[in-house]
Amino acid sequence: MIRKKLEKVRQSIWLYPAIYSIFSLLGALLVIQIDSGYLVNYQESIPSFFLTSTELARTIHGIIAGAFITITTFTFSITMVVLTMYMSQLSPRVVENFLTQKNTMQSFGVFVGGFTYSIVSLLFTRNTVAGYTVISASIGVVYIGVGLVYFVLFINNVATFIQTGNVIDRLYYESKEKIATYKTLLTTHPVVARPRVEDYEGSFSIHCEKNGYIQQIQDRKLFDMVDRKKLVVVFQKVVGQYVTMGEVLFTVYYSEKTEEVQSMADGIRGFVSIGDHKTEKQDFAYTIQKIVEVALRALSPGINDPFTAVQCIRSIGELLELLSDEKYGYIKVDHDPEEAGYVLLEAYCFELMLHDAFDQIVHYGESDIKVMRAVLHALQLLKRRSIDENHQAVAGYREYLLRKIESNHFDEFEIKTIKQEYLS
């Protein structure tokens, strides 16, 4: 529960502004102590060219506070424009990728923190004795310089991020990185066709207690309990799947009778995070879904941008190619081979992912020759690398696609080019 709340805080928009504001407030209080003469040793070691009169300091702090609040307002306005554009032209799910970007949130933090420092320093500079020299104004000038650098970086980041091609590339590389992690799991642990649990005395099922998406599995804690209790835990769902209250999440098999069934069930259930929204942390399929949504938005009548859809299809094809040589089954994860317990995680089904990726694109783009050729090219890419069971799924989907093409009454030349793509 604590970990889930910490993860929610980490993903919140106000985290960086809050952290930077707190540190700016503490910094302002420290500088006020120096300016007030309480820290005499520090005050004497400050170079004279950093010191200003209190009148000049008040003027500078007022200017800096006004500048930071203006920059903050402008930044939020730009952010709202970007979010509106994302939701209307790309996908509402892509918005979170911009908001959770570290550079964007750091910019907000610097601007809000700079305003906090300036306004607090301005308040306490009024109480210093006339004729005193202070350093707070010089620090404020340095802060506004840092703020301008972050503002330029923010503008550059926005200019880069709003380009559709860059958005697709970011999603592609994020998904590719997560697929690499998944393939590492498949490489280091065997995949079995079905659980072999005949030798265990008893079993019990663990049911979901609320509706939502499976966001994350705390695998280390789960493995520790499995090793300690010598259990076999079969996970019936995959991360990213929507579950309803009362649906079976796990089936637990044990070889020794135990009276701790309820406590073990509660403990194992607590290792699975279920929330209202999907997350990308352990779910690469969600990132692929975002690319699919960008393609669908590009194919909509209001935008009508088939070239963006083709770029999305190419990226989806390359990502699915990475998965086409993996077989379906249960991943046997034994954290400690010397122990009797292990966990069986259901592997992603390639055929299901293939249909999830292309079904809607084919439905809305079946009348566009470039879109259909791009899908066929992606399937050709999958055909070359896929293992036998996945090869059959690809071949079946190609036949389905050809039937859709023939029913759309394309021109003879278009049919010819598509046949060439299919037979190549």
pLDDT tens, residue by residue, 108-146: 888 888 888 888 888 877 555 555 677 778 888 888 888
Give residue 248's pLDDT: 82
How far lies 64's CA from each of 36, 285, 387, in Å?
Answer: 21, 46, 63
The residue among 220 and 19 whose pLDDT is bigger is 19
Q: CB–CB of 84/144 below 8 Å?
A: no
Instruction: Please tell me the predicted confidence (pLDDT) of residue 205.
Output: 78
Q: pLDDT band at 313, cuts 50/70/90? A: very high
Q: What is the pLDDT of residue 323?
A: 86
Cβ count within 10 A of residue 264: 19
Q: How far is CA 95 from the centre of its chain?
A: 10
302 pLDDT above the threshold of 70: yes
The reported pLDDT for the residue numbered 4 is 60
Taking the model in full, what pTM does it have?
0.78
* pLDDT value at residue 7: 63
Handedness of CA 28, 33, 34, 37 (dihedral sign): positive
Non-local CB neighbours of 88 within 8 Å, separated by 6+ positions: none
Q: What is the mean pLDDT of the chain?
A: 79
Mean pLDDT within 370-386: 85
Going by DSSP bridges, is the β-strand pair 342-346/231-235 parallel, antiparallel, or unpaired?
parallel
The band of 316, judged by pLDDT with boundaries at 50, 70 and 90, is very high
Note the pLDDT of residue 339: 58
Spatial separation of the C-alpha atoms in residues 390 and 384, rounded to whole Å = 11
Q: Where is average pLDDT lowest: 39-48, 144-153, 403-412?
A: 39-48
Number of other CB atoms surrounding residue 66 within 10 Å: 12
Nearest alpha-carbon partner for 282 in 144, 178, 154, 146:
178
So what's the pLDDT on residue 2? 60
pLDDT confidence band for 338 (50 / 70 / 90): low
* 367/260: higher pLDDT: 367
pLDDT at 83 (0 to 100): 79
Share of the chain above pLDDT 70, in %: 84
Q: Which one of 14-18, 245-249, 291-295 scores highest in mean pLDDT?
A: 291-295
Provide the terminal-to-terminal Cα distance of the chain, rounded to the nearest Å. 54
Query: Which of 37-51, 270-284, 359-373 has the lowest average pLDDT?
Result: 37-51
Mean pLDDT highest for which of 12-26, 248-262, 330-344? 12-26
Q: What is the pLDDT of residue 39?
A: 53
Q: What does the alpha-carbon distance between residue 355 and residue 361 come to, in Å, rounded to a whole number?
A: 10
